[in-house]
Structure 1
Amino acid sequence: MNEGLVPVYFLGGLIFIGNVSSAYENIALEKHAWQLHPYTGQAWGADKAVDGRYSDRSAGGGQCAINANYKINAEWWVYLGQLLSIHHITIYYRTDNVVWDETNGYTSRFLGFSVYISNTTKKEEGRLCFKDTNYTKSTIPDMITIECLFHGRYVIYYNERLSGSTYPNGYSMFAHNELCEFQVYGCPVSGFYGKNCSLPCPQNCQERHCNIVDGTCLGCITGYKGSRCEEQCDNNKYGLGCNLTCGNCSNGEQCNHVSGSCPNGCDAGAQGDTCNEGCPFGRHGKNCVEVCNPNCKGGCNRFTGVCEYGCYPGWKGTFCEIECDGRAFGQDCGQSCGSCLNLEQCHHINGTCFFGCDRGYQGEKCIEECPDGRYGYNCLEMCNINCGDPIRCDRKTGQCQNGCQTGWKDTKCEKECDLGKFGLNCAQSCGVCYEKEQCHHINGTCLNGCDKGYQGINCTQECRLGFHGYGCNETCSTDCFNKTCDATTGECLLIQTPDPPEINIAPIIGGGVAATIVSLTVVIFVIVVRRKKESKRRNSQEKIDTQLSSEHATPNIYIYDNIDENGEYQELRKVGRRTGMCDKFEDKGGYEELGQIKLPPRYKSHVHKY
């Protein structure tokens, strides 16, 4: 504390009342000054407050700076010439050299003033050193000393009486600056402190400015902190005032306390000297040297490389590094492959099949079923034309779906009817073709003609009476009775002989006929059984009966046995006109073919025509 000063503490600062005895210099003396609203025509300019003269504090003394009357604000400043350390400020106000008490008219003009320290002429850009809020007309002194431990280039005095504002009792109606002397005490040279301004400020003080009393720094140079700026920035801070935060240095290391650069590079997701730049699009990892997987949609996480917005079609996995598999493809592997050959994996992006389609499908993706009429791998095969519906077969196997065309068989209708069959579904039996050959598989015709004893396109008709041999092209011998012979061998069934004279030979032949009848009965039974089987196989009996009935002009042959007591002939059988003997059906009036028989010579005379 300076000797000769009486300290007074109040709201707004510390002031000293009384004479000042100090080793600090008045650094405002004869420096450039300026005031708002100068009083024109009078020698009351702003420089009067720093000329060092204040013995006559009246307007007429010419030693005071006075502004014009009737103003709502008053402002005055002095420029110190450079940034200097300030200790205190002393103000000598106008008294007009009369008693300074509440009756003095100038006390009300002094009330409510402020003092600012700034590096510019604008008080708003500086620091408030003092503002009067407590003085009254009876308490405010005419000389005030204010402690103001700041640095600055400008010291600004300000007062106001703004319209619409309410001020305490005793305040003047208008604002005034009536400064007879304005003294600023401090060190005339920057970078020193102490009573004699002989102690250098700590080297890390900002601009080597320190508290003029104790040497504590008013601010530190970049990268340092503490009252005397002896500590480097830490705790992930750097820069001026340690107010900047380090970037993402590798493994969370402390950055350089001055520049903020990271000694071992950047941690994942950051780049740049200070590691405070995020990785650009498409990069990740430490110092952003890693490239995001190109299959990521919308880039990747700059720290981890994870594809946060999913993958492009055809890819999956955290980093979109895995192609779609499991017979899937497309966006999010959400589409299923078609029927590729051997059910192989399709192209992971577009779903095309590398080696073509499996059976039953076609197209790039093998999702199109074979069109009508085609089947197999890639639908390259055509349905068999012999299918029941030539354009309808199983699209995979080619199996005909509606059976086969007439004359064909097997699942694909690839085989002709065989084994004596022809027609639709090979359900019809061939006739008696030459050498028992297979008939035509479609219409049943015999390609090389008929075997012996049969005729017709399909060789199902037996030879007519009087014909025999292949295709019934040969005629029976004229020696045969009624030219009737065996249709197969051509042998006569009965031999033609002259009619014998009418004699009664019953006693002679009675016994012989009886024996012959027994033999004939056995022969006829055998012949009937064989002929029935043959007739069923050929399905021709009905046609034969029709033919027999239509040729009614042909003579009938009867065999008689004279066994009755009256010597009359008894009718035994009616012999058919072709190759056999017939037995009459009682219910239909027809005749059953019994078989081919030959009579012994002794009975030939008993065969008669009618």
Structure 2
Amino acid sequence: MDGFALYVTNTSTIPPDGYLCYEDPDPGLPNITQTIPCNELGKYVIYYNNKGSNDGSSVNGPIVELCYVAINGCQKSRWGSNCEEFCSENCIEQHCYLRNGSCVWGCNTNNCLNDICNTFSGVCTDGCKERLTGNYCNKYNMASDGLVELIPKGSQPGSLANDGNKTSCSKTMGPTVTFQVDLQTKSIVTGVYITFGGIPDKYYNGWLSYLYASNTSISWENGTVLYQGKSLPTEIYFNVVFRYLTYVPPVQDISSELEVCEIGIIGCPPSRYGPICNESCPGNCNGPCDLETGNCVFGCLDGWTGDKCGQECPDGQFGRNCSQFCNGCISNICDHVNGLCDNSTGCNPGYVYGNFCNTTCQAGTYGNDCLETCSVNCFNQTCNKITGECLLGCNSGWLGFNCTQECPNGKFGRNCSEFCKGCISNMCDPVNGLCDNTTAIKPGNEYRNSCNPVSTNKAETDHPVSTQIGLFTGGCLFGSLVTAIVCFLLMRKGQLRKRQGKEKCQLNLFFLQLFKMYTPQGNKPNIQVRFRYQYMGKPTISS
């Protein structure tokens, strides 16, 4: 191993072309076990030796015998015993020492205020340059263009809390203290950085402080609670859409004090996205887009669709989310944004309203430009807006597609569903069923001039006397049953005295007139029945 060298390179070129980590010094032979530190980025670790040996009589080439090799390291931008920590984003090339995470080549001051950063942590010590925030000043700060207000107004103005400078602070004191930032428009916000002065710490004492997001400046308590806790961290992450950010300290009394040195609100203006908001949202987004992907998270403007709203609505559709249809336009083709028909000469049957054709015909009309009138014979004068078909059927006396046909002979009524059975030759008025011949009506009809028979049972029509006897017999049975029930109820109530118990409950039914039949023009018999109920010889009920 005498004279060997150790390289870290990004190529396998021999002789090595890279960083020389170690070279064996002369004189003497090196130890056969070596532990060599080397903090360097590379793809190859190369052991190289071209010295060889010289025994005085001949020169031999180098010989190497490696028994064990271990290369300790981490993937780029990580550090720690198990490579579990990340190097500071502000370290140059995000490269740090594996043991402590400090920047190998120093920190990047490009975005740091006053070009000052901590070489160990990479944090921008004094703050960030314009419109940037975060420990490493690598995120866009929406608070830079916002309005900062301390309530009550303090000795130092609120604008000192969003100037990017951590060394200048806004300060106030009073019985009710509030800190609020107005972003001036609703925006997608993913996090907040807050740097306090020394005042708030002594007021916590286990009390809760709150951070609210709202869309109004006065009702923030009804908004979204972004954080509540006994101490407010310097970094808080979330994903919320709001306009106003409000911080309420944990203690509110006559001596409450608040000092805010810097506020950073991570997000982008509504039309921008990307890590530092250097990308433009798609032009057809309906509101702000996703800060990472640029997708239109609140949908598209009228006439557009897709994740980035770059696609026009399909043929036949238009409007917000392409949810409306060009049904009224000729060929169903219209402007994908406003629904204006491509062919302005007219609309499909059943539609009207100029070049948009987006209004159906009014009740009672149909056809091209709604110039046709539904048939007066349509029930409720309701018809199909396109064809004129009577949707609810026809008025009495009519039938057909649009109710222009009269009922055929022998039928009448709604949709010609009734029959003129009672009229001579079955001929009647198709609307109301009046017989054509008012003096010649079939026997058995209940009403004069009507085609509505009393009964269509042939036996009843042919034997009127049998019908009368049946009615009479039924009446007698019904009267006897009613009398028995009345007597039973009176006895149950104790209204019959014992000395009168043997008296009989007598019923004298007098059929004064069994049949008094008046049958002119074929009318049915008129049956009258009279009866009298008598108790103790005294009539009490008669009918």
TM-score over 0.5 for the pair: no
Structure 2 length-normalised TM: 0.43
- Whose radius of gyration is greater, 1 or 2? 1
Structure 1 length-normalised TM: 0.39
